[in-house]
């Protein structure tokens, strides 16, 4: 028997109402959470139609699936992944296609799954652990008969074959998922070179990410241990309809760093430095199937790493689109905004720049995730309007600097999304173009 999937009933209604035009295909993503025993699918999201000059929908041929843009599907997944909190991820894809191409559907879905995984892996600062599930779900639906075929592929095995999966619908599966929150303070100085700005930033952020992964995590003031249960004690008797909230701290110290990272001074040959300073709000959700505190801590830490990386990436993308320059004075980075998913206990996020309105955010939620959210429903107060900013230029990084580990700490408390038209991989070109002749300071500030 294959891997089991518990699917929110709203997903069934969504797929039933979603139809493809005669002779055409529709694709989309499944969003949810993995666990050791089974996976939980809480949301299905259709891939937006790509707007190309002179293109018409009627040109999709019924005899082949080659007309589907794989890069576009992967890019949509990359954009959506930025909007997901800790513990929630893209679990797979669906394809609605006419019966004429049913024999080709599984090979097409396998190609999509591996393309999406490759796109998402490029933006991860963390490595998979032994607990991570690498099987991804695919659902092929015949547009005429509505018959569905559910299969999984192991994305870590390029030669894998499709495996059957158990697909069952259930209501309210995420309504009582515990919420873990924290605020993380950052003070990172990243040396960069004009020849490889993007690589310099990512390498240093990966070093910092390892410190976050190794950091001490406290949940409700108690240290996380391998086998302790998150919902232990009297909390197990709490009604399933009630969502529990936990406050966390992530504590990093110099002693947590590898000995190989420690020295009194190091000379960096670079043309400038990027400094990330300030406070970001992070949150994660964990399923209620006997969750462990270590799984909650891992989900929260990954949210910390993802949101910091996303903001740095989106700033460069935004400056490329607007032909701006990091050296032109103070600029605010995007701040995080959350919105609830109707009928669940979960929220998704977006990033808003100072020159944007909540209406812009609502439009992106509609485009990327396919649901309407009013401005009144958005939680825009989790981060201060000036939580992040870019301040000027600093030259001459090629002097001895203390190689003190980049610090990060958290308080126990409790944003512009790049448009989907941005090409995947634009960060590299943006960074080189923007910083090839100057050096920049990037601050995340309160």
Task: Please provide the average confidence, as pLDDT, over all residues in the chain.
Answer: 79
The pLDDT-based confidence of 93 (bands split at 50, 70, 90) is very high
- Distances, alpha carbon 274 to alpha carbons 185, 264, 334, 431, in Å: 16, 21, 16, 12
- 288 vs 254, more confident: 288
Report pLDDT for 442: 34
For 43-61, the pLDDT digits (tens) are 999 999 887 655 444 444 3
Return the closest-CA partner of residue 407 out of 125, 187, 126, 184: 187
**Gap between the Cα atoms of 320 and 314, Å rounded:** 10
Report pLDDT for 321: 74
Give residues with Cβ within 8 angstroms of 149, minimum separation 6.
105, 106, 139, 140
The pLDDT-based confidence of 270 (bands split at 50, 70, 90) is confident
Q: What are the respective helix, strand and coil percentages of the chain, to the nearest 5?
A: 30, 30, 40
- Contact of 354 with 385, CB cutoff 8 Å: yes
Residue 324: both structure tokens together: 């701006």
Alpha helices in 323-383 (DSSP H): 358-369
- Helix (H), strand (E), coil (C) string for 226-279: CCCECCCHHHHHCCCCCCCEEEEEEECCHHHCCHHHCCCCEECCCCEEEEEEEE
For 196-207, the pLDDT digits (tens) are 777 777 888 889
**Gap between the Cα atoms of 388 and 403, Å rounded:** 24
For 423-434, the pLDDT digits (tens) are 333 333 333 333
* pTM for the predicted model, two decimal places: 0.83
Query: Which range, of 102-106, 234-238, 294-298, averages the lowest pLDDT?
Result: 234-238
Q: Is the pLDDT of residue 262 over 60?
A: no
**Gap between the Cα atoms of 28 and 129, Å rounded:** 27
Residue whose pair of structure tokens reads 């990093």 in the numeric block = 252
Report pLDDT for 134: 95
- The sign one gets for the Cα dihedral 54, 55, 56, 60 is positive
For 110-165, the pLDDT digits (tens) are 999 999 999 999 889 998 988 899 999 999 999 889 999 999 999 999 999 999 99
For β-strands 89-97 and 135-142, DSSP reports them as: parallel
Percentage above 70 pLDDT, the chain: 74
Percentage above 90 pLDDT, the chain: 49
Architecture of domain 3-170 in CATH?
Answer: 3-Layer(aba) Sandwich (3.40)
Q: Is the pLDDT of residue 396 over 90?
A: no
Query: Which range, of 5-19, 68-82, 162-176, 425-439, averages the lowest pLDDT?
Result: 425-439
Domain spans of the chain? 3-170, 179-443
């Amino acid at each position: 028997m294959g891997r089991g999937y518990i699917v929110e009933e709203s997903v069934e209604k969504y797929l039933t109402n979603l139809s493809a035009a005669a002779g055409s295909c529709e694709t989309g993503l499944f969003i949810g959470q993995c666990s050791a025993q089974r996976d939980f699918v809480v949301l299905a999201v259709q891939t937006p139609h790509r707007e190309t000059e002179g293109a018409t929908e009627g040109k999709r041929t019924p005899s082949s699936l080659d007309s589907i843009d794989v890069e576009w599907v992967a890019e949509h997944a990359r954009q959506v992944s930025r909007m997901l909190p800790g513990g929630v991820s893209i679990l797979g894809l669906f394809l609605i296609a006419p019966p004429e191409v049913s024999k080709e559907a599984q090979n097409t879905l396998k190609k999509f799954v591996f393309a999406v995984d490759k796109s998402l892996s490029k933006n991860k600062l963390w490595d998979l652990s032994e607990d991570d599930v690498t099987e991804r779900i695919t659902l092929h639906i015949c547009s005429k008969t509505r018959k569905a075929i559910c299969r999984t592929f192991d994305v870590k095995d390029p030669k894998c074959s499709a495996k059957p999966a158990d697909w069952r619908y259930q209501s309210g599966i995420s309504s009582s998922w515990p919420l873990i929150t924290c605020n993380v303070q950052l003070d990172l100085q990243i040396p960069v070179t004009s020849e490889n700005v993007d690589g310099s930033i990512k390498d240093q952020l990966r070093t910092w990410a390892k410190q976050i992964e190794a950091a001490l995590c406290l949940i409700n003031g108690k240290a996380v241990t391998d086998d302790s249960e998150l919902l232990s004690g009297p909390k197990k008797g709490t009604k399933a309809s009630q969502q529990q909230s936990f406050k966390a701290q992530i504590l990093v110290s110099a002693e947590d760093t590898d000995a190989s990272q420690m020295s009194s001074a190091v000379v960096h040959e670079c043309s400038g430095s990027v400094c990330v300073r300030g406070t970001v709000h992070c949150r994660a959700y964990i399923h209620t199937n006997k969750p462990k505190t270590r799984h909650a801590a891992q989900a929260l830490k990954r949210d910390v790493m993802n949101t910091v990386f996303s903001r740095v990436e989106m700033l460069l993308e935004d400056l490329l689109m607007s032909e701006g320059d990091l050296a032109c004075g103070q600029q605010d980075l995007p701040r995080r905004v959350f919105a609830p998913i109707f009928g669940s206990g979960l929220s998704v996020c977006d990033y808003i720049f100072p020159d944007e309105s909540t209406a812009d955010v609502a439009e992106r939620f509609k485009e990327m995730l396919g649901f309407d959210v009013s401005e009144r429903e958005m939680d825009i107060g989790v981060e201060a309007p000036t939580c992040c900013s870019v301040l000027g230029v600093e030259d001459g990084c090629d002097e001895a600097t203390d190689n003190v580990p980049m610090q990060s700490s958290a308080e126990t408390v409790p944003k512009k999304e790049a448009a989907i038209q941005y090409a995947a991989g634009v960060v590299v070109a943006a960074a080189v173009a923007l910083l090839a002749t100057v050096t920049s300071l990037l601050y995340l500030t309160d």
